[in-house]
Chains A and B, each alone.
Chain A
Amino acid sequence: MITLDFLINAISLGSTYALLALGMVIVYGILKLVNFAYGELIMITGYSLFVLTLGPHLPWIIMAVLAVGVAVLTSYLTERVAFRPVRSNSLTAMLITSFAVSTLLQNAALLIISPRARGVPLPDVFSESAVIWGQSVPIRSLLAIVTSLLLLGLLVLLLRRTVLGIALRAASDNFRMTRMLGVPANLVISVAFAISGLLAGVVGLFWVGRTASVTPTIGAAPLLVAFVATVIGGMRSLLGAVVGGYIYGIVFSLIGVLLPQGLLEFREAFMFLIVILILLFRPEGLIRGVNSSRRV
């Protein structure tokens, strides 16, 4: 049943997925790196919230900002410490490094905190609903949509109106040439990772908001989502990532409603089958861009 409730949920999911995909593509576009540690940034956000509750009482919004800040810092640090030294080796080395960082972060959470889920504080609004057109809609979903649009708007401003943003987009087109124009490579990459961390952090707030808890492996599912949404949108295009995220969110919700129960469990498998098909037949994604990617 396509009700308002369903629509809001689907778009809310799509908004979250769009931010998620964007965070992944912004790094991939420049470095060609699929960052396996990306999902862990959501985990870090969640655990930061948890840790903050152990200290003096702070308003939730402050904790949220701090938690996202930790995600940004983590993203920046993983690049500085783990990826930068390996950058000049091969792409495969970077991939494996990101996988190692992912394992490292997950087990660090296991070790330092606990293998068991930990409760995460939520603002009161997350459990409230608004009544729109006679139907009850969770405010959390509305917030997700609004926050995403805000962030996307800010990012567009950054990317189109500032020199840094232009440099980021240029680096995504042609990293080598960007350097040859005198743009410091490390600065561009650090900014990209910071933005990636920011996006993952914000998504993290809403992600842990669904269950009000965080586990060491909570990053696995968002990582997969980021993969799929990124591929759907064409891995090089920032706009494509956003569109891909929305498409994924909406399709995923639709499948949830339309598929018979028996097949529903295989929903994830279907999405990854779509990933494979897209990469095989339309690697530039479903969005037509000015570039095209390379294939053997």
Chain B
Amino acid sequence: MSVLSVDGIFVRYGAITALRGVSLSVKEGELVALIGVNGAGKSTTLATIAGGLKPHQGSITFQGEQLQGRSPEYITRKGIALVPEGREIFPSLTVAENLRLGAFVRGSRAEFQRDVAEMVELFPILGERLRQAGGTLSGGEQQQLAVARALMSHPRLLMLDEPSLGLSPVLVDQIFELIDRLHRRGVTILLVEQNVERTLAIVDRAYLLHTGQVEVEGTPAHIREFGNVEGVYLGDRGRDAGRKEPQ
């Protein structure tokens, strides 16, 4: 059953059309990735689904409800959680308070303690730092906090925007291992990544984006065969115009 269904969305940044008819879907329990170069429109797609941007054409259906044009708060309350690029944890709040806010949409207190315990089990380091200010955490720890915070809302769909960005190779391993673990626990995930090989190794399906459109979609094997991924990344196609557009 499709949890998320995006149909032909067009999104503009001022005079530039960042997305030109992007369509994708995510089924329950799937781990789906959006891959592509900088400027292909991956982050824009996530931002639009999450309500930060409004498409002027096309629709976004989540669990049967149309969400395009709704406010970010509404969309989050409906069960979509976004971990944005750059983590954006709250530096002056403690780890526990960051998590508390992640659970905002859920409301009740008793579950909070239980959810925190669950997060600590998934992310032991956070357990040690519960009372520390978010700003004092390292990059990798902040990334974990950002994901944990998003999970606190028990989202039906978790979206991750370049979680491995700026992390050392060891931490990149950890992040991908974490995503895989979440997937196996049944969390529905939409992942945006530039790290193509690692991504294709763990996902169910992927969409290759280029200049605001879906070039290829399908299983990792399908993409490897038809996607000319290296070509897109190294410029074989010669379509340089797309690279200059913002994400």
**Quick check: do A and B touch in the complex, using CB within 8 A?**
yes
- Which A residues contact B (CB, under 8 angstroms)? 163, 166-167, 169-170, 172-174, 176-185, 237, 289-291
- Which B residues contact A (CB, under 8 angstroms)? 50-52, 71-73, 76-77, 82, 84, 88, 90-93, 97-98, 100-102, 104-105, 133, 135-136, 149, 153
| Extra pairs beyond A183-B73, A183-B101 (10, CB < 8 Å) | A163-B104, A167-B101, A169-B93, A170-B97, A172-B92, A178-B90, A181-B104, A181-B149, A182-B77, A291-B92
Assess the B73–A185 pair: CB atoms within 8 A: yes
Cα(A163)–Cα(B103), bound, Å? 10
Q: Which residues of B contact A184 (CB under 8 A)?
A: 73
Q: How far is the CB of A259 from chain B (nearest CB, A)?
A: 37
Known: A163-B104, A167-B104. A177 touches B153 (CB 8 A): no
Assess the B100–A166 pair: CB atoms within 8 A: yes
Closest B residue by C-beta to A178? B101
Q: Which residues of B contact A170 (CB under 8 A)?
A: 90, 93, 97-98, 101
Q: How far is the CB of B133 from chain A (nearest CB, A)?
A: 5
Which of B71, B90, B104, B136 is within 8 Å of A173, CB to CB? B90
Assess the A183–B104 pair: CB atoms within 8 A: yes
Known: A180-B72, A182-B76. A289 touches B92 (CB 8 A): yes
Assess the B92–A181 pair: CB atoms within 8 A: no
Known: A169-B92, A169-B93, A290-B91. A179 touches B135 (CB 8 A): no
Q: How far is the CB of B159 from chain A (nearest CB, A)?
A: 10
Q: Which residues of A contact B97 (CB under 8 A)?
A: 166, 169-170
Assess the A173–B77 pair: CB atoms within 8 A: no
Cα(A182)–Cα(B101), bound, Å? 9
Assess the B104–A177 pair: CB atoms within 8 A: no
Known: A166-B101, A290-B135, A290-B136. A180 touches B82 (CB 8 A): yes
Assess the A166–B92 pair: CB atoms within 8 A: no
Q: Which residues of A contact B52 (CB under 8 A)?
A: 176, 180
Q: Which residues of A contact B105 (CB under 8 A)?
A: 181-182
Known: A182-B73, A184-B73. A290 touches B101 (CB 8 A): no
